[in-house]
Structure 1
Amino acid sequence: MANEDRGAFIWYELMTDDPASARAFYKAVVGWDIDPGGNAMPTGTTYRMIGRSDGGHAGGVLEIGEDMKADGAKPVWLGYVHHPDVDAAVEAFTAAGGAIHLPAMDMPGVGRIAMVSDAQGATLYLMTPTPPPGDPDATSDVFDYALPQRFRWNELWTTDPEAATAHYTGVFGWKQENSMPMGEMGDYRFIERDGGMIGAIAQAQPGGEGSRWQYFAGVDDIDRACEAVTEHGGTLLGEPQQIPGGEYSVYAHDPSGATIGLVGPRR
């Protein structure tokens, strides 16, 4: 991936302590096929790829081991954002009051990565990926604004939207020009990259999950997906709500408690 890919969401990762339940859940809800075995990790756990029905990938599943639990790891979805200089991006996060959870490191055949949180506590990965052999201009297709089985929206809920907007637009080169008023919740600020909308920044609500990134997976039928959530050990967090453009979205917890957003049409 070239430097002009700065600011692209290029991978998504589910951290979970129950990969088997996650496999059944996300197959039924989204249509993904999670590797049943996975690759062994140095931590003693596994990493499994998430396959789409078209043969591509949607991300990966990192199994949470006992040592990780002891360090406070909990089931969660995390996004990877491309930056051509991971070390400089890490410095930008810490200079703005953020924290480092995984120092910048090289992973052979994968790229240079780091895990950081912003000053308000929202966590994500920074990454300069290593292109596949023979394809130096390869780009990620895990995010697409319109397609099912891709991630379609990246939402930041934060205790300080003004500071977060300034920080992320500065580090990743995103644009923030348009917004949607949400009454007492403040503005829902749309973020754009390369001329397209990739998500939004909004005020975290009292009693909610605090500052965090929230990701939405595309489904073929929102009602079918909602039924599958409850049938496979998940919990719906409300009813599907119509969004601009006519489709519907809803939040859910998977069987381990990781929050996932779903978006798609009502058939």
Structure 2
Amino acid sequence: MHGNFVWYELMTTDTKAAEAFYKKVVGWDARDADMPGVDYTLFSMGDHLVAGLMTMPEGALELNVPPAWLGYVAVDDVDTAAARLAGEGGTVHREPDDIPGVGRFAIVTDPHGAAFALFKGTGEPPPSLDQMAPGNIGWHELMAGELDSAFAFYSKLFGWTKDQAMDMGEMGVYQLFAHNGQAIGGMMTKPKEVPAPYWLYYFNVEALDAAIDRAQSEGAQVVVEPMEVPGGAWIVQCTDPQGAFFALVAPKR
């Protein structure tokens, strides 16, 4: 599991509204996690847990931190991985800590400032959905501070390998990366107009236009218009009603 994305978490300002939004747009079910002292919602697709939802921590808005999705990457040992990350120029923002009965985690950023989490679960991991199954997260995209150094950082930390590379002209190279031989995402140097590096997560839906209609009817804003990508899939990038950035991917319009 080391180096694989295993969980996703939305921290937002209105959890009830966000729950209703993603249930309608992506098709997830939702239920309370029943964690003592913590208001945490679990999104699922059938019997498969996919993501979590919680209210943003106090003080985050005062620091101008917007609602956002956070990806959790599995590691063999959280403390070792956090120390290694710091040694490679990353920053540990929340030191390794335990979630009773769930696992151990740390909140970190890469050397350019893109946020993600390290995670080691308790016990055997549950069976996962197929990468491109409806309701799963089919793609992980990094708008990096600088592609070559970012790829070297993640490769050293997680063992990711280079897959195809696509020349995007003036935008630069879009480098696909693989985990255990399977392409799971891509990264490129962020455009100059983008203020900071970030990770973006693509939620699988069955048909793009219908999902866009559902999203816009619930208050989403389309940031990057629908486009076809190599391989024939269709994507769109949006912000949800609370301002969190997300994307959708589908095999057809």
Aligned equivalents of 1:122 and 1:258: distance in 2? 15
Secondary structure, counterpart of 1:240 in structure 2: strand
1:51 to 44, 62, 73: 44
Contact 1:247–1:265 (CA under 8 A) maintained in structure 2: yes
User: Counterpart in 1 of 2:207?
Assistant: 221
Q: Over aligned residue pairs, what C-alpha RMSD do you find?
A: 1.8
The answer to whether residue 110 in structure 2 is matched with residue 118 in structure 1 is yes
User: Counterpart in 2 of 1:21?
Assistant: 17
Structure with greater strand percent: 2
Contact 2:70–2:115 (CA under 8 A) maintained in structure 1: yes
Q: How does 1:85-164 map to 2 (within 5 A)?
A: 85-131=77-123, 136=124, 138-139=125-126, 141=128, 144-164=130-150
Contact 2:98–2:104 (CA under 8 A) maintained in structure 1: yes
Percent of counterpart pairs with the same letter?
A: 35
Structure 1: which 5+ runs fail to align?
A: none
Aligned equivalents of 2:197 and 2:27: distance in 1? 29
Contact 2:112–2:145 (CA under 8 A) maintained in structure 1: yes
The answer to whether residue 29 in structure 2 is matched with residue 12 in structure 1 is no
Superposition deviation, residue 160 in structure 1: 1.1
Superposition deviation, residue 108 in structure 1: 1.5
TM-score computed with the length of structure 1 as normaliser: 0.89
User: Counterpart in 2 of 1:241?
Assistant: 227
Structure 2: which 5+ runs fail to align?
A: none
| Equivalences, count | 253
Contact 2:163–2:183 (CA under 8 A) maintained in structure 1: no
Superposition deviation, residue 110 in structure 1: 1.0
Superposition deviation, residue 266 in structure 1: 2.5
**Over 2 Å off, 4+ runs:** 37-42, 65-74
Match of 1:163, as an amino acid? Answer: S
TM-score computed with the length of structure 2 as normaliser: 0.94
Secondary structure, counterpart of 1:152 in structure 2: strand
